[in-house]
Amino acid sequence: MEQQTRELIYGLNDRPPLRETLFAALQHLLAIFVAIITPPLIISSALRFDLETTGFLVSMSLFVSGLATFIQCRRLGPLGTGLLCIQGTSFSFISPIIGAGMLGMAGGRMNVETALSYIFGACLVASVVEMAVSRLLPYTRKVITPLVSGIVVSLIGMCLIKAGINSCGGGQTAVDAGNFGSMSHLGMALLVLVSIIFFNRSSNRYLRMGSIVLGLVIGCVAAYALGMIDLSRLQGARAVNVPMPFKYGLNFDPGSIIALGLIYLVTAVEAFGDITANSLISGEPVEGPVFMKRAQGGILADGFNSMLAAVFNSFPNSIFAQNNGMIQLTGVASRYVGYFIAAALFVLGLFPVVGQLFSLIPDSVLGGATLLMFGTVAAAGIRIIAATKIDRKGVLVMAISFSLGLSVELVPNILDQMPAIIKSIFSSGITTGGLAAIISNALIHIKD
């Protein structure tokens, strides 16, 4: 911890000069911006939302991320870590959210308001799980072991790859147009993928940090040149977005709530790891009462901010791990930088043109980036598993979890004869595999 403190340019409670604060905040924004807007874009594409709805959801994701980041950095009562802790829309919830949204399908057509009411109703209720975990933190760590966490994170990445490759082929728009998987769509996705890899392997830290942004920019320029982006669709956008609590109403489906609740449970464990890493990098304690207070406050805020997101028509938030690397890279751990990041996200979320502009990104361009990002999530889960001791019990737990989780993803109609509540809960490979991991890890005991 002392070594980390010596390596910092600005500590947790230091106030850097304005120019350096703005520069550090900009680097954090570059690292998180695409990650914040991508989940609403993927969900909107999968559920075939119109441009206006998609733009609004993107705007609200930025707006809520600003509120959530401020709460984490400032610490309001028991809420927050008091660290330079950035929050944004989480990828982990995409699959069960799409499942909840499908409840809005009637007669072969999607009712947008109904779909979003089921999504936000489930997100709102299930967020209580993570808030409860924050109060029971020492006990939940015994249930959700590193092996279980690694399995669930791997399944999240593996299940999302399906969404990524669908986007590479052009998404639902291309399916409707009859050109899904065409050379133009696959070529565009490949261009973005190769561009990101090219910049990411650069020795220049700025090119590496901005690799995803640069890849998307190159893809968008190429797509515009090929007539795949129509800027005229931006006409008629409102000047300012006024956040409207419960704009789409609330509906509650028990299966969706259970499915999302499991992801909240695992997200709490991931948040604990991220807070530990953030504390270490910031030269703060990683054990004892001060640290435990920070960890519990951070996880409580993680759940509360996700509940707040549902209120303001956005998707669950989680602590972004990539910003820990940014603190180490810049040497700036000041939580006051977080206030500027929060303000920038808050303001960007108020302008509809920002959300609608990003909503124009073709699915194939987005797919080239998300395919790599989802693969990275799966790889991160494998790294967690590799860091644990894999004995006979571990092999059995992994075999059961991956086989059951991937089965419902690869053959979804296996559940067609099941009651509606069972089908709703276990239709997600993440939920099925995650529950299998928790139960098998608790029940299997092997004597040597």
Q: pLDDT tens track of the chain, all 448 residues?
A: 555 555 677 888 889 888 888 888 887 887 778 788 888 988 998 888 988 888 899 899 999 999 999 999 999 999 999 999 989 998 888 888 998 998 888 766 788 999 999 999 999 999 999 999 898 877 766 777 778 878 877 887 788 788 788 888 888 778 878 888 889 899 999 999 999 889 878 787 677 766 777 888 899 899 989 888 877 776 666 677 888 999 999 999 988 898 899 889 878 877 887 787 788 778 888 778 888 899 899 999 999 999 999 999 999 998 887 677 677 766 788 899 999 999 999 988 888 787 777 778 888 888 888 788 778 778 877 887 888 888 889 899 999 999 998 998 888 888 888 887 777 678 778 778 888 888 898 888 877 6
The tens digit of pLDDT for each residue in 189-226 reads 999 999 988 987 878 767 776 677 788 889 989 998 98
**What pLDDT score does 282 carry?**
83
For tokens 């989480």, what's the residue? 90
- Maximum Cα–Cα distance for the chain, whole Å? 70
For residue 389, the surrounding DSSP H or E stretch is none
- What are the two backbone dihedrals, phi and then psi, of residue 181, each rounded to the nearest 5 degrees? 75, 15
Domain boundaries, the chain: 18-376+391-441
pLDDT in tens, 85-134: 989 998 888 888 998 998 888 766 788 999 999 999 999 999 999 999 89
Q: Are 235 and 99 contacting, i.e. CB atoms less than 8 angstroms apart?
A: no
Q: Is 351 exposed, middle or buried (0-12, 13-18, 19+ CB in 10 A)?
A: middle
CB 369 within 8 A of CB 214: no
Listing DSSP states for 126-183 in one string gives HHHHHHHHHHTHHHHHHHS-HHHHHHHHHHHHHHHHHHHHHHHTTHHHHHHHT-TT-H
pLDDT, tens digit (0-9, with 9 covering 90-100), for 263-289: 898 788 778 877 877 887 788 887 788
